[in-house]
């Protein structure tokens, strides 16, 4: 295949794609998506594709929500832009801050706006360090994160994340970051039970804190469930122990909820699913169901009050922090979620069905193990599941499977040899039946390709 259509030609000539080998892509041409409705997208060739990834884990309410388009249109006519710098605000930003504070857990009562998850993470890094400086401990500036974490693509986000491929490019990284192991039981748990392994991984945090000195650590940050790392669902013992350790050493606990936030795990936030009481959380994606770029950091009273009581400005912000149109769309998104009981439906109806369908898929010869929670799952594809033997490096099993999915009307993402599902939260049982029928068919085709 080579670039065929006018869009593909233009794209190949001028568009550099994120996380893509553009040279290779340009030879065949990018897949052109032209429209979307509900849980389906259509490509230029007219193929209807079921979106098992909700875009990039974000289109939680599905495509084609005219209420969101109407709100954006209205807001653009009234006040398309004004900033929230220099002691100004506007209705959408204030109302959205209140709405977020109401749905977040604990005392996360204060909201700082950004445009992307990465910017939210940068904000958290600066805020955590600034907090300790205000407290008279500027040396408390180390952030502890995890191997195989994903916290975005800005320099700070890439540095904080644990992706080797990202660290290799654009170095040197931001200093003052330490890393501990990830709680990936199927891949790294060895002979330990899941519970034992969860505790061992959490205690790696304590070891790291003692190694660098508790009084040098600002914060620990983790995704409640690692998303881009392959959907790594932690053992149940993991987060309570992390919580205990952070409290013991008075270290700020940060949950990166960019994927888990807004219903994905069957609660408004992953922190509620795991009983985490974070000092700050980052959110993006589902905040506007992906309809417009907007992100936020929800800040607990402890950190926010330090900032509020401090007699200096917080020298940080973005031109579009709290953009009125994006804020209006996010506000409407939350309203729809509440009116349609989206979170309750995920928890009580659609996630249990999703889990049942995943359990049925587990007998497939390629599927070694499935990590799952709420409406998100990661499947480890193995060459021999009985002996837990992975495919050799020269067989890119994830890409083979992903391509079969593409060709057969299903979006399933590959992270290495793991296949990921994270469909729109509004998906129906019948649509899940179709999705899983296609998933099994594509796994069969993948198996045939490598046999």
Contact residues: ligand PLP, CB under 6 A = 116-118, 121, 150-153, 223, 227-228, 256, 258-259, 284
* Residue nearer to ligand PLP on the CB measure, 61 or 258: 258
Least CB distance to ligand PLP at residue 366 (A):
26
Query: 280: closest CA among 108, 93, 101?
Result: 108
Return d(Cα 396, Cα 24) in angstroms, integer. Answer: 16
Give the DSSP H or E segment for 125: helix 117-134
User: Strand ranges (DSSP E) for 100-251?
Assistant: 110-114, 142-146, 177-180, 217-222
> How far, in Å, are 260, 354, 401, 431, 439 from residue 357 at the CA level?
21, 5, 19, 12, 11
* Residue nearer to ligand PLP on the CB measure, 224 or 409: 224
* Residue nearer to ligand PLP on the CB measure, 54 or 443: 54
Residue nearest ligand PLP (C-beta atom): 117
Least CB distance to ligand PLP at residue 229 (A):
9
Least CB distance to ligand PLP at residue 184 (A):
16
Measured in residues, the chain has a length of 451
Least CB distance to ligand PLP at residue 228 (A):
5
DSSP of 203-223: HHHHHHHHHH-GGGEEEEEE-
Q: How buried is residue 133: exposed, middle or buried, by Cβ count under 10 Å (0-12/13-18/19+)?
A: middle
* Residue nearer to ligand PLP on the CB measure, 156 or 361: 156
* Residue nearer to ligand PLP on the CB measure, 239 or 436: 239
* Residue nearer to ligand PLP on the CB measure, 149 or 245: 149
**HSE toward the beta carbon, residue 429, CA cutoff 13 A:** 7
Q: Are strands 367-373 and 376-381 parallel, antiparallel or unpaired?
A: antiparallel
Least CB distance to ligand PLP at residue 179 (A):
15
Least CB distance to ligand PLP at residue 189 (A):
23
């Amino acid at each position: 295949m080579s670039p065929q259509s006018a869009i593909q030609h233009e794209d190949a000539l001028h568009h550099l794609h994120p996380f893509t080998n553009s040279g290779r892509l340009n030879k065949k041409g990018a897949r052109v998506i032209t429209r979307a409705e509900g849980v389906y997208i259509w490509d230029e060739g007219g193929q209807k594709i079921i979106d098992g990834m909700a875009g990039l884990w974000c289109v939680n309410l599905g495509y084609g929500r005219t209420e969101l388009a109407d709100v954006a249109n209205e807001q653009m006519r009234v006040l398309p832009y004004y900033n929230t710098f220099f002691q100004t605000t506007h209705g959408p930003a204030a109302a959205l801050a209140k709405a977020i504070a109401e749905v977040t857990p604990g005392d996360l009562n204060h909201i700082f706006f950004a445009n992307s998850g990465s910017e939210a993470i940068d904000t958290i890094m600066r805020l955590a360090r600034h907090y300790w400086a205000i407290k008279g401990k500027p040396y408390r500036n180390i952030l502890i994160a995890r191997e195989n974490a994903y916290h975005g693509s800005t320099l700070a986000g890439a540095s904080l994340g644990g992706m080797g491929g990202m660290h290799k490019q654009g170095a040197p990284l931001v200093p003052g970051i330490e890393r501990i192991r990830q709680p990936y039981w199927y891949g790294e748990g060895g002979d330990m039970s899941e519970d034992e392994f969860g505790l061992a991984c959490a205690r790696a945090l304590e070891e790291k804190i003692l190694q660098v000195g508790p009084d040098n650590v600002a914060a620990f940050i983790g995704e409640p469930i690692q998303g881009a790392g392959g959907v790594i669902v932690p053992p149940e013992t993991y987060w309570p122990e992390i919580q205990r350790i952070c409290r013991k050493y008075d270290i700020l606990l940060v949950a990166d909820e960019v994927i888990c936030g807004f219903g994905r795990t069957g609660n408004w936030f992953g922190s509620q699913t795991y009983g985490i009481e974070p000092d700050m959380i980052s959110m993006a994606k589902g905040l506007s169901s992906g309809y417009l770029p907007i992100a936020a950091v929800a800040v607990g009273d402890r950190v926010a009050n330090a900032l509020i009581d401090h007699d200096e400005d917080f020298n940080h912000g973005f031109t579009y922090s709290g953009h009125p149109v994006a804020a209006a769309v996010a506000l409407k998104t939350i309203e729809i979620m509440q009116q349609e009981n989206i979170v309750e439906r995920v928890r009580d109806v659609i996630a249990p069905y999703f889990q049942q369908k995943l359990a049925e898929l587990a007998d497939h010869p390629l599927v070694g193990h499935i990590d799952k929670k709420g409406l998100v799952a990661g499947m480890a594809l193995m060459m021999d599941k009985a002996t837990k033997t992975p495919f050799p490096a020269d067989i890119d099993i994830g890409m083979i499977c992903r391509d079969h999915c593409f060709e057969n009307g299903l979006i399933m993402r590959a992270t290495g040899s793991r296949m990921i599902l994270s469909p729109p939260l509004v998906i129906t049982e019948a649509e899940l039946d179709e999705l899983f029928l296609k998933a099994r068919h594509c796994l069969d085709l993948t198996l045939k390709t490598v046999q």
